[in-house]
Amino acid sequence: MVAMKFLTLDTDSFRYGEAEQLAPLVRRVIADNPSKFTYRGTGTYIVGLRDVVVIDPGPKLDSHRDALAAALAGSSVRAILITHCHADHSPLAAWLAAETGAPTIAFGPHGTDAWDIGEDPVRDDPASDEESEASEPVIEESTDTDFVPDEAVATGEEVVSGNGWTMTAMHTPGHTSNHMCFALDDGTTRTIFTGDHVMGWSTTVVSPPDGDMSAYLESLRMVAGRNDDVAIPTHGSPIPNPTEFVNDLIEHRLQREAQVLEAVRSGLDTIPAMVEVLYAHVRKELHSPARRSVLAHLVKLVDEQVVVLAGEEPRPRLDSRFLGD
Residue ranges, the chain, pLDDT below 50: 127-140
DSSP 18-43: --EEEETTEEEEE-S--BTTTBT-PE
Do the Cβ atoms of 175 and 289 come closer than 8 Å?
no
Farthest CA pair distance, the chain? 63
Q: 125 in a domain, yes or no?
A: yes
Examine residue 203 and state whether it is found in any structural domain, yes or no.
Answer: yes
Partners of 134 in beta bridges:
none
Reported as a single tens digit per residue, the pLDDT across 46-64 is 999 999 999 999 999 999 9
Strands 20-23 and 26-30: antiparallel
Question: Cα separation of 139 and 213, whole Å?
Answer: 24
Closest CA to 210 of 271, 257, 143: 143
Whether omega before 209 lies within 30 degrees of 0, making that bond cis, reads yes
Total domains in the chain come to: 1
Does the residue 112 lie in any domain?
yes
| Predicted pLDDT at 263 | 97
Residues counted in the chain: 325
pLDDT of residue 282: 86
Distance (Å, rounded) from C-alpha 110 to C-alpha 198?
19
For residue 122, give every residue at least 6 positions away whose Cβ sits within 8 Å of its Cβ, in sequence order, or none. 272, 287, 288, 291
pLDDT for res 139 = 32
Does 246 reside within a domain?
Answer: no
pLDDT in the model for residue 141:
54
At 206-260, the pLDDT tens digits run 999 999 999 999 999 999 999 999 999 999 999 999 999 999 999 999 999 999 9
Other Cβ atoms closer than 10 A to 49: 13
Beta-bridge partners for 52: 48, 77
In degrees, rounded to 5, the angle at the alpha carbon of residue 141 between the alpha carbons of residues 312 and 212 is 45
**Radius of gyration over every alpha carbon of the chain, rounded to an integer in angstroms:** 20
Residue 184 domain flag = yes
Decide if 31 is inside a domain: yes
Q: Using alpha carbons only, what angle is made at residue 251 by residues 250 and 254, rounded to the nearest 5 degrees?
A: 90
The CATH number given to whatever domain includes residue 72 is: 3.60.15.10
SS3 content of the chain, % helix, strand, coil (to 5): 30, 20, 50
Domain extent, residue 167, equals 11-240
Cα distance between residue 137 and residue 139, in whole Å: 5
pLDDT at 158: 96
The DSSP bridge partners found for residue 283 are none
The answer as to whether 265 is a domain residue is no
- Please check whether residue 151 lies inside any domain of the structure: yes
**Would the pTM of this model clear 0.85, i.e. be above it?**
yes
Among 115, 74, 312, 72, residue whose Cα is nearest residue 211: 115
13 φ, ψ (degrees, to nearest 5): -100, 0
pLDDT at 2: 75
Helix ranges, the chain (H): 62-71, 92-100, 213-224, 242-265, 271-278, 287-303
Specify the pairing of strand 151-152 against strand 158-161: unpaired
